[in-house]
Amino acid sequence: MPSVFATGTRMIAIAALIAATALGGGAVATAADTGTAVAGTAVTDVSPPAGAVVGIAHPVTVRFADPVTDRTAAERAVSVTASTPVDGSFAWTSDRELTWTPDVFWPGHTAVTVLAGGTRTQFRTGDEFVAVANRSTHQFTVSLNGQVVRTMPASMGKPGYETPVGTFPVLEKFRNLVMDSSTYGVPIDSPEGYRIDTEYAVRLTWGGIFVHAAPWSVDSQGWANVSHGCINLSTENAAWYYDNVAVGDPVIVRG
């Protein structure tokens, strides 16, 4: 299918798939009682930041100046309002950090307003750019707004280092990155140790799972899982994915 992907941007065009999406009225996803402080402590940051365009799996994160003792009050004081109604849920990643995540995904081209205490931010989602990594078929398939645009051979985690199953929003991107097994407790001089220069690295977990270029495993890509948990692609395919993926875009890993 004809497609054009502008290198280094999320300016993605596919015939008849891209259309202007008008922002509708707001729909309150969670109730709010806003003020200058939330549950006795100030809000220091709300993300995504104002004006950001993010992927459809991006959570809302509220950070507090001090540990929150009344979590229920804090949750009640945060509102998430979307131009298309979205259900979601709260979770605490620490006693100072609260997230609100949509139950499935935000719809593409949705405007979202977040109020937490006296802090307000408004962001929007971009295209529905979704990747599915299948550990059994060794394929990495990318869809744009519901239509498959590229299927790539991949190699994932070998036995004992299986790529975790689940849905992971992209956290950050690195054009070049040194990967070092000692950062998660495996010495580089051990049989499973390594320290390698990688390209087009897209982080999925803070524990070290990435989608990245792995020219050394090209012969296994599409056939066998040989990595230490990362999703290996050819350099060409990894560059394409890196150039087009945005922070917050989901990667769904299936067994």
Q: For residue range 192-204, what is the model confidence (pLDDT) as tens digits? A: 777 788 999 999 9
How far is C-alpha 124 from the chain's CA centre?
15
19-125: CATH number? 2.60.40.3710
CA distance linking residue 66 with residue 43, whole number of Å? 9
User: Stretch 171-182: mean pLDDT, rounded?
Assistant: 88
Statement: residue 230 has pLDDT above 70: yes
Q: Where are the domains of the chain?
A: 19-125, 129-254
Task: Tell whether the model's pLDDT for residue 13 goes beyond 80.
Answer: no
* pTM of the model as a whole: 0.81
Lowest mean pLDDT among 18-22, 26-30, 74-78, 121-125: 18-22
How does residue 226 score in pLDDT terms, banded at 50, 70 and 90?
very high
The pLDDT score that the predictor gives to residue 197 is 85
Could you list the active site residues? 212, 230
The answer to whether the 19-125 and 129-254 domains have the same CATH topology is no
Give the tens place of pLDDT for each residue, 131-164. 999 999 999 999 999 999 999 999 999 999 999 9
Q: In CATH, what number does 129-254 get?
A: 2.40.440.10
Q: What is the mean pLDDT of residues 220-230?
A: 96
The contacts of residue 249 (CB under 8 Å, 6+ apart) are 55, 56, 57, 129, 130, 131, 169, 170
From the number of C-beta atoms within 10 Å of its C-beta (0-12, 13-18, 19+), residue 228 rates as: buried
pLDDT mean over 206-218: 95
Confidence (pLDDT) at 37: 65
